[in-house]
A and B are shown apart, each in its own frame.
Chain A
Amino acid sequence: MHDDRGNAETFEALAMPLLAPLYNFAHWLAGNRDEAEDLVQETYVKALKGFGSFTPGTNFRAWMYRILRNTFLTSRTGLKATVSLDDEENPVTQPAADDDPESLLFARADQEEIRRALEQLPVVHREIILLCDVEEMSYKEIAELAGIPIGTVMSRLSRARSSMRSLLRTKLQGARQ
């Protein structure tokens, strides 16, 4: 068993390196700095309090993201953002045959265009893309932290990517014509 001080030292050592990525993730979810700071602070306070229930040797990073995510989902912005969750039903749209190849299309996208498209995605879609492509979490980690089956991770991810692609396609092809 840890004494309290040893516990706190371990927590500090594990948690502080995650501050920058957690803050980035929180800001992408919440959309502004004040809420991002509140989310991250609440996450750290909750995590420190609950650290006794964290099983050493398991995935600490995923645990922290899960706390942050739950904190966000119960916040005002989070509740608003997830009300219209028509997620799993819409069909995935395939590009038309005469569209530009995506490899060439996306090579033209600059960072600002990618960011704007990402901002326009529904939160659940933005979130899963961030966890997979930015945080490089495995499907299993995402499934555990979001409390959904791996199959849902895969279908949600493919819908998220397809919305992202059609947003970009509209922007980029529209801009050129």
Chain B
Amino acid sequence: MTCEWRDKIGAYLDNELSEADDLAMSRHLRTCQDCAMAALGSRKLKVSIKRAASGRFVPSPEFRSRIGKAVAPRSRSLPSWLPGFALAATAIIVVAVGLGLLLRPRQHDVLVEITDLHVSTLASANPVDVISTDRHTVKPWFQGKLPFTFDLPELQNSEFHLIGGRMAYVAQGPGAQLLFGVRKHQISAFVFQERESFARLGAAPKTSQNLAFNLETWTDRGLRYVVISDASAADVLALAKLLRSAE
């Protein structure tokens, strides 16, 4: 049997639900795993289409100047700098379109990017580049690859285990993605240098949700941490606390 909310997921992601329905849908997605997964799939597709199709075909400079001449006011000849200027303007638009790939305007942020990364990792046949349960193997692997270092906690007396790590790129910057397991769930912990793109998230520890995922984010000594998983909020918080206590 399909959930009655299922048909509204498209309109929800398109930002087309009434305010009341939008709120109700956000709430529903926190409790209905089926709809949350469907929404995640639809969102993935929407983002991928935007990425694959926008700016796919670009007018040639000759064509651009042909159109420019056709619409220019008759009594004015084109200044010689215009074509170059017009090209620069196109480049800016293309970049803007390229960056505008995240879908719901209200959620245009790095957390959406991070959620996508986490999901892609789970989908990947080789989720990590360095496979090890030993923090003393994983930590040095990042040295020389990242312009910063970070510490990993001792997990022996916890429910968590380390699976491995990989490089991650978010908002055009490199960082570390560490994959942990807890019972049947996997948790990603991302570490980046704190910068403008993350500032909106605030420095103090903060819990939030993005679709079916629980998130915990904070800054520490110039580094931005984001922990994300479909595991319970309590598990996510527990791992976050372990990471904060690492030395």
A interface residues with partner B (beta carbon < 8 Å)? 5, 8-9, 11-12, 15-17, 19-21, 23-24, 27-28, 33, 36-37, 40-41, 44-45, 48, 94, 101-109, 111-112, 114-115, 118, 129-130, 132-134, 136, 138-139, 154, 157-158, 161, 164-165, 168
In the bound assembly, the distance between CA atoms of A36 and B38 in angstroms comes to 35
Min C-beta distance of B21 to chain A, whole Å: 13
Q: Which residue of A lies closest to B67 (CB)?
A: A44
Chain B contact residues (Cβ within 8 angstroms of A): what range? 35 or more
CB–CB A103/B37 < 8 A: yes
Query: Assuming A9-B73, A101-B37, A102-B42, what are 14 further A-B pairs, CB within 8 angstroms?
Result: A28-B53, A40-B63, A44-B71, A102-B44, A105-B123, A106-B48, A107-B123, A112-B52, A115-B56, A130-B53, A133-B53, A133-B103, A157-B14, A164-B45
In the bound assembly, the distance between CA atoms of A12 and B42 in angstroms comes to 38
B41 / chain A contacts, CB cutoff of 8 Å: 101-103, 105-106
- Which one of A24, A48, A158 contacts B54 once the chains associate, using CB atoms below 8 Å? A24
Residue B10 is within 8 A (CB to CB) of chain A in the complex:
yes
Interface centre among A36, A103, A115 (most CB of B within 10 A): A103
Main secondary structure of the interface of B (DSSP, over half): helix
5 pairs, CB–CB < 8 Å, chain A vs chain B? A24-B53, A40-B67, A132-B14, A134-B54, A154-B11
In the bound assembly, the distance between CA atoms of A40 and B104 in angstroms comes to 29
CB–CB B10/A102 < 8 A: no
Residue B120 is within 8 A (CB to CB) of chain A in the complex:
yes
In the bound assembly, the distance between CA atoms of A47 and B121 in angstroms comes to 48
A41 / chain B contacts, CB cutoff of 8 Å: 66-67, 70
Known A8-B74, A94-B2, A109-B48; judge A21-B97 contact (CB<8 A): yes
B7 / chain A contacts, CB cutoff of 8 Å: 158
Residue B140 is within 8 A (CB to CB) of chain A in the complex:
no
CB–CB A28/B37 < 8 A: no
What are the nearest 5 A-B pairs in CB distance?
A: A102-B41, A27-B57, A103-B40, A8-B73, A114-B52
Min C-beta distance of B62 to chain A, whole Å: 10
In the bound assembly, the distance between CA atoms of A160 and B72 in angstroms comes to 39
A107 / chain B contacts, CB cutoff of 8 Å: 44, 116, 119-120, 123-124
Min C-beta distance of B5 to chain A, whole Å: 14
B interface residues with partner A (beta carbon < 8 Å)? 2, 7, 10-11, 14, 16, 37-38, 40-42, 44-46, 48-59, 63-64, 66-68, 70-76, 86, 89-90, 93-94, 97, 100, 103, 116, 119-120, 122-124
CB–CB A134/B73 < 8 A: no
A104 / chain B contacts, CB cutoff of 8 Å: 119, 122-123
CB–CB B57/A12 < 8 A: no
CB–CB B93/A17 < 8 A: yes
Min C-beta distance of A128 to chain B, whole Å: 11
A45 / chain B contacts, CB cutoff of 8 Å: 70
Min C-beta distance of B4 to chain A, whole Å: 14
CB–CB A28/B56 < 8 A: yes
A102 / chain B contacts, CB cutoff of 8 Å: 37-38, 40-42, 44-45
B52 / chain A contacts, CB cutoff of 8 Å: 111-112, 114-115, 118
Known A23-B57, A134-B49; judge A11-B71 contact (CB<8 A): yes
A158 / chain B contacts, CB cutoff of 8 Å: 7, 10
B63 / chain A contacts, CB cutoff of 8 Å: 23, 37, 40
Q: Which residue of B lies closest to A9 (CB)?
A: B73
B74 / chain A contacts, CB cutoff of 8 Å: 5, 8
CB–CB A139/B16 < 8 A: yes
In the bound assembly, the distance between CA atoms of A166 and B70 in angstroms comes to 43
In the bound assembly, the distance between CA atoms of A43 and B48 in angstroms comes to 29
In the bound assembly, the distance between CA atoms of A11 and B70 in angstroms comes to 11
Interface centre among B40, B71, B122 (most CB of A within 10 A): B71
CB–CB B89/A17 < 8 A: yes
